[in-house]
Amino acid sequence: MSGSGTNVNLDQAIGSLPVPLSQRNWGGLLAGAVSITAGVATWSFVVGGFTANYVDARMGTAAMLAGGLISQFLISLAQIPPVTKYGLETVTTTKPQLGTRGSAFALFVQYLTLIGWNCVLIIFLGRAIGASLVQLGLITAEIQEGVATAAAVLTTFGIWVLLLMGAEGLKYTGVVVAIGIFVIGTWMYVLLVQTYGVSAIASAKPVAPLPQGRLMNYSVALEVLLVSTLGWWAYMGSMFRMVGTASKAIYPSMGSLGLGWAAVGLIGLYAGLVVGQPDPTVWIVEIAGPVAGVGVLTFVILSNLGSALVGAHAATLGFGQLPAVARNLSWASKTFAVLIPMFIVEMFFSTAFYDNIGTFMAFIGIFIAPIVGVQIVDWFAFKRIHRLHVPSLFRHDRRSCYWYLGGFNIVGMLSLALGALTYVLLLDPVTFVPNSDIVQYTTASLPSVVVGGLAYYIGMRLFGDLDPEARLKQ
Amino acid sequence: MGVTQGETIAAENSDLDRKIDFLAFEPAGTDLTDFDFKMLALTGIVAPALLLLWGWA
């Protein structure tokens, strides 16, 4: 089942089993580099541009940075303790809360989040390559679409090759991409400020604010970053299970996935306000010419490839939780199987997928908020972080103390449903139009986290099995 | 007589079961310290609150 020989990488050897403490050897800087690689991609500019609809530069800067930090704070509490203490990947950490079989729902949410976003990134990358080749006169517009598709497919194949290296591939790619992101991101800021000036950026008005007033728009702008940042939950295990102490993990988590990705997103905010176009592959070429577009293309390739690689790695670890997969597929087969939907979407459904990705992702995001609330309560209020029975996380039958009722922790599942319902009642996740005036004081993600966590706390106290690990001692 | 495919699969499953059993004896990493909680609260609650006040002003 596992690989053999001197060159077997860690993921080939252990798959989705815990990383032994002796091999959790990533320091804070490396974890930070890999995190910023995952966090920064063209989605940063999309989110920044979306925020420009609601608020100006000052309010947008505050809302984006604060939203990133608040959500990443919650995700850090939910994921860093189990992931760094026991070397677990993300889906595994949900088994005590959702049950051995119930965690399949977490796998479903994680997989759709990771592969859905990967499709967006690689389709975008393919289109950017096609557009750049046309601008440089290397291809004609007639074959641009075909070239974009081919570029996307080839890039996905390249991701598979890099994935064969497992966590080692993340390490090498992460450092290179992080440096590239920092250099080119700084250049974009300088170009924007030199071309338009700080005054013009600061005085630019929001593009399409809601009619409900300044506070509501501020709150919705905050919500954009809260719900977007919650998506990092799906990535945490893949990266931070390689770090051996929680202390080393919190700084890269907050610095890269909380602050870093939002800071790059500010480029999209300012460009959206002052240029009316957050996409740097458009506005940079307009102000600095096609050669500058090559610089942007480099950024797009590095950042999107890096994020997609981390996402695919996390998806493979989650997919490996399925018993049939864990026992029968090699690391190479698992990684390829995880990427098959990407190949299909890129070749046959790229336009339809790209045009409807907002709808798709919004409904994925509303389930992650209550998952975070449930996990925080479980680790800290019920103190399960200290008595987690790790072997039970990898048993898929009654031998697991997290079997509960037929493999499901009903309280956990219902808590997710209540948290998701809370979100939808407060805010339409597709249009981002508030359904209630209370959103201006609460946002929608934060009540969803609280309701999920509170429902889990009350439900487990009244109806749940608070100490299934004790049965094993008996 | 050679080993059958079924016997090979059974042996591999038994090997995996043993690996899972031994997970109970693997050393664990460290928990979040009090200082870690304070830093998280500083970066995740205090700093965002100050940012939001600055943005609103």
- Specify the pTM: 0.90
Question: Chain B within 8 Å of A138 (Cβ-Cβ)?
Answer: no
What residues 205-224 of chain A have any CB closer than 8 A to a CB of chain B? 218, 222
Spatial CA neighbour of A79 closest among A239, A315, A261, A259: A239
Chain B residues lying within 8 Å of A394, measured CB to CB: 20, 23
The answer to whether residue A65 is domain-embedded is yes
The answer to whether position A234 is within a domain reads yes
Chain B residue with CA closest to A259: the answer is B43
Residue A159 located in a structural domain: yes
Closest CA to A405 of A417, A394, A416, A413: A413
Could A85 and B33 be called an inter-chain contact, meaning their C-beta atoms sit closer than 8 Å? no
The whole-angstrom separation of Cα A430 and Cα A115 is 19
Q: What angle do CA A128, A132, A138 make, to 5 degrees?
A: 135
| pLDDT, one tens digit for every residue, chain A (474 residues) | 333 333 446 666 666 789 999 888 888 888 888 888 888 888 888 889 889 999 999 999 999 999 999 999 999 999 999 999 999 999 999 999 999 999 999 999 999 889 888 998 898 889 888 888 888 889 998 999 999 999 999 999 999 998 887 666 666 777 788 888 888 888 889 989 999 999 999 999 999 999 999 999 999 999 999 998 999 999 999 889 989 899 999 999 999 999 988 999 999 999 999 988 888 888 888 888 878 888 888 888 888 888 888 889 888 888 887 778 877 888 888 889 999 999 999 999 988 877 776 666 677 778 999 999 999 999 999 999 999 999 999 998 999 999 999 999 999 999 999 999 999 999 988 888 899 999 999 999 999 999 999 999 999 999 999 999 997 766
> What is the spatial distance between Cα B25 and Cα B16, in angstroms, rounded to a whole number?
15
- Residue A407 inside a domain? The answer is no
Say whether B33 and A73 touch across the interface (CB within 8 A).
no
Nearest CA in chain A to B12: A1
Range 276-305 of A in CB contact (< 8 A) with B: none
Q: Would you say A378 and A384 are in contact if contact means Cβ atoms under 8 Å apart?
A: yes
Asked if residue A414 belongs to a domain, the reply is no
B31 with A81: Cβ contact below 8 A: yes
Interchain CB distance below 8 Å, B26 and A258? no
Q: Do A61 and B55 touch (CB under 8 A)?
A: yes
Domain interval for residue A211 = 16-84+103-356
Q: Which of B21, B39, B47 sits opposite A250 (nearest CB)?
A: B39
**A281 part of a folded domain:** yes
Helix (H/G/I), strand (E/B), else coil: A219: helix
Cα A167 to Cα A23, A116, B28, distances in angstroms: 11, 21, 20
DSSP structure class, residue A235: G
Residues of A in contact with B24 (CB under 8 A): 389-391
| CATH number of the domain enclosing A329 | 1.10.4160.10
Surface of A (79-108) touching B: CB under 8 A:
80-81, 84-87
How large is the ipTM?
Answer: 0.87
Is residue A410 situated within a structural domain? no
Name which of A72, A386, A391 is nearest B24 (Cβ-Cβ).
A391
Is A10 part of any domain?
no
Could B16 and A385 be called an inter-chain contact, meaning their C-beta atoms sit closer than 8 Å?
Answer: no
Task: Please tell me the total count of domains within chain A.
Answer: 1
